[in-house]
């Protein structure tokens, strides 16, 4: 009997590997090799300010065995009506820190380092996990974008977002902040939304519900994200009725969806109930609130203090790209603009619209996941010809270089965390940081915000100043 000869499948040569693959590999290696150039802590601890508050639940649970926080600490605790003190922040970040924390805890035990949560094994394991999450999100976002747009546009988009915006700093500089983690969670959430609407598989809805619950646990205002999947793929009267039928067809399985949502949130809800007497507790206190009648939209978007576009100008292309979503990805042609308008309105209505000490407008970082699509569509529309692609690439490289330079200025303390304005920005960008730099004059130009007035909705800073 003759045997059929097995023919090996042709191997994909390096020449056939996509450009976006090489860009993702470059970004991965860039992050791995340059983190020390951007890292903000050296010889100290990354667990300071906001990060230490997010981390506090792990210390209380695993180190102190006291979730009442009666042990000596310097956390930002809020007193409830019952007299008990609870952390200002919710426990979502402690949940996503957990793998890194447990690895650090094990290393600390094996290396005879203090197993206190505040020794170098914890620092490095959580920091490296933050970078790892970002890299996983990068490759996943690539796979989603490739469904809708050409490989070269995907490559330019990923390069722009990961090196040309303040996401770079909030992965390598302050990767322990929520924005990088939320970005990655939104990547996987968007993947589940797309799959669910294509296949109607209920498992995708269950996974989406779990991811959404974690997102809300990290940052409760992210509950606004529910708007996006609700209006996704609605762009006409016909698609509206299709969405209604889709919701109806889920039928009794909505019970499982609600159970997943509640069970995932239950650790926080039960904790608040035990400590405060209520399942829902506004832990930010009475002085911090939204002023919906005074949204600082222009300050939020284009001011020199913290304007989103000023410190990540490459995202202008994404705003323009919103006009082309119907051509390339019609499912989000209406839902994305509506979602972004709601998000910007809410975020700019927060009493501290500049969001404390930060590089650029950090509140927008996680939404770059959604903005990556119009950015890719912009590149697809305008960079289709070789000459324009060359010129466009030069502009992209300029914006990337600008972002890296500003990031370095922020890390070194020259680009001020909350005192920037038009005069100080222009002076800083027009002068080299050397022995001739007039530091005293520059410091006089800085204008820190009036926090007390802001808590009352009084804003003394104008977007053009």
Residue 2 has pLDDT above 90, yes or no: no
What would the mean pLDDT of 327-335 be, rounded to a whole number?
A: 94
Number of domains composing the chain: 1
Joined together, the tokens standing for residue 79 give 């007193």
Per-residue pLDDT at 389: 80
Cα–Cα distance for residue pair 400/378, rounded to 1 Å: 17
Contact 316, 165 (CB under 8 A): no
Q: Tell me whether residue 22 is in a domain.
A: no
Give 283-289's long-range contacts (Cβ < 8 A, gap of 24+): 283/78, 283/86, 283/87, 283/88, 283/89, 283/90, 284/78, 284/88, 285/78, 285/88, 287/455, 288/351, 288/352, 288/455, 289/351, 289/455
pLDDT at 358 exceeding the cut of 80: yes
Query: Is 63 part of any domain?
Result: no
Can you tell me the mean pLDDT for 338-353?
97
Residue 289 has phi, psi (to 5 degrees) of -160, 175
Q: Which residue has the higher pLDDT, 23 or 385?
A: 23
pLDDT at residue 283, rounded to an integer: 87
Q: Domain for residue 235, yes or no?
A: yes
pLDDT digits (tens, 9 = 90+) for 25-43: 999 999 999 999 999 987 7
The pLDDT, as a whole number, for residue 5 is 41
For the residues 333-356, what does the mean pLDDT come to?
96
Per-residue pLDDT of 149-201, as tens digits, reads: 999 999 999 999 999 999 999 999 999 999 999 999 999 999 999 999 999 99
Is 69 within a domain? no
User: Does position 8 have pLDDT exceeding 60, yes or no?
Assistant: no
**Residue 207: inside a domain:** yes
Write the pLDDT tens digit of every residue in 69-101. 999 999 999 998 888 999 999 999 999 999 999
Indicate if the pLDDT at residue 6 is higher than 60.
no
Reported confidence tier of residue 3, pLDDT bands at 50, 70, 90 = very low
Contacts of 201 (CB under 8 A, 6+ apart): 195
* Paired strand residues for 79: 85
Residue 162 lies in a domain: yes
Mean pLDDT over the full length of the chain:
93
| pLDDT band at 319; cut points 50, 70, 90 | very high
Q: What is the mean pLDDT of residues 218-236?
A: 96
Q: Would residue 184 count as lying in a domain?
A: yes
| pTM of the predicted structure, to 2 decimals | 0.93
Task: Tell me which residue range forms the domain holding 171.
Answer: 153-454
C-alpha–C-alpha distance, residues 347 and 221, integer Å: 9
Mean pLDDT of 452-462: 89
- pLDDT at residue 463, as a whole number: 86
Q: Backbone phi, then psi, for 24, in 5-degree steps?
A: -65, -40
pLDDT in tens, 103-152: 999 999 999 999 999 999 999 999 999 999 999 999 999 999 999 999 99
Query: Given pLDDT bands bounded at 50, 70 and 90, which one contains residue 16?
Result: low
Work out the average pLDDT over 438-449.
Answer: 94
Residue 384 pLDDT: 77
């Amino acid at each position: 009997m003759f045997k059929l000869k097995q023919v090996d499948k042709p191997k994909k040569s390096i020449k056939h590997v996509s450009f976006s693959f090489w860009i993702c590999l470059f970004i991965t290696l860039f992050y791995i090799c340059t983190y020390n150039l951007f890292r903000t802590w050296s010889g100290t601890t990354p667990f300071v300010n906001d990060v230490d508050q997010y981390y506090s639940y792990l210390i209380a649970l695993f180190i102190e065995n006291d979730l009442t926080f009666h042990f000596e600490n310097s956390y930002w605790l809020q007193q409830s009506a019952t007299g008990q003190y609870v952390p200002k922040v919710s426990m979502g970040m402690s949940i996503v820190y957990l793998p890194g924390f447990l690895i650090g805890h094990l290393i600390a035990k094996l290396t005879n380092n203090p197993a206190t949560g505040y020794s170098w094994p914890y620092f490095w394991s959580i920091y490296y996990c933050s970078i790892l999450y970002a890299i996983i999100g990068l490759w996943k976002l690539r796979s989603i974008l490739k469904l809708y747009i050409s490989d070269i546009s995907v490559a330019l988009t990923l390069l722009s977002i990961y090196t040309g915006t303040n996401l770079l700093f909030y992965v390598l500089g302050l990767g322990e902040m929520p924005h990088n983690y939320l970005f990655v969670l939104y990547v996987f959430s968007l993947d589940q939304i797309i799959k669910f609407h294509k296949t109607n598989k209920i498992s995708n809805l269950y996974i989406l519900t779990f991811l959404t619950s974690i997102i809300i646990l990290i940052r409760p205002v992210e509950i606004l994200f529910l708007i996006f999947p609700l209006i996704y793929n609605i762009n006409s009267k016909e698609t509206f009725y299709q969405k209604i039928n889709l919701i109806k067809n889920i039928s009794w399985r909505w019970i499982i969806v609600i159970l997943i949502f509640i069970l995932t949130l239950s650790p926080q809800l039960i904790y608040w109930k035990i400590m405060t007497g209520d399942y829902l507790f506004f832990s930010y206190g009475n002085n911090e609130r939204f002023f919906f009648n005074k949204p600082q939209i222009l300050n939020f978007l284009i001011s020199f203090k913290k304007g989103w576009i000023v410190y990540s100008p490459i995202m202008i292309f994404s705003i323009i790209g919103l006009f082309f979503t119907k051509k390339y990805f019609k499912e989000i042609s209406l839902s994305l603009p509506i979602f972004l308008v709601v998000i910007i309105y809410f975020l700019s209505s927060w009493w501290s619209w500049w969001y404390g000490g930060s590089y650029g407008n950090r509140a927008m970082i996680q939404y770059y996941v959604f903005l990556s699509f119009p950015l890719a569509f912009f590149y697809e529309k305008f960079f289709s010809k070789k000459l324009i692609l060359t010129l466009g690439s030069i502009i992209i490289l300029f914006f990337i270089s600008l972002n890296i330079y500003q990031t370095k200025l922020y890390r070194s303390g020259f680009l001020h965390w909350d005192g920037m304005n038009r005069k100080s920005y222009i002076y800083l960008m027009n002068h080299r940081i050397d022995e001739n730099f007039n530091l005293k004059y520059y410091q006089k130009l800085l204008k820190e915000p009036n926090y007390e007035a802001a808590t009352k909705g009084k804003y003394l800073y104008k977007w053009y100043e």
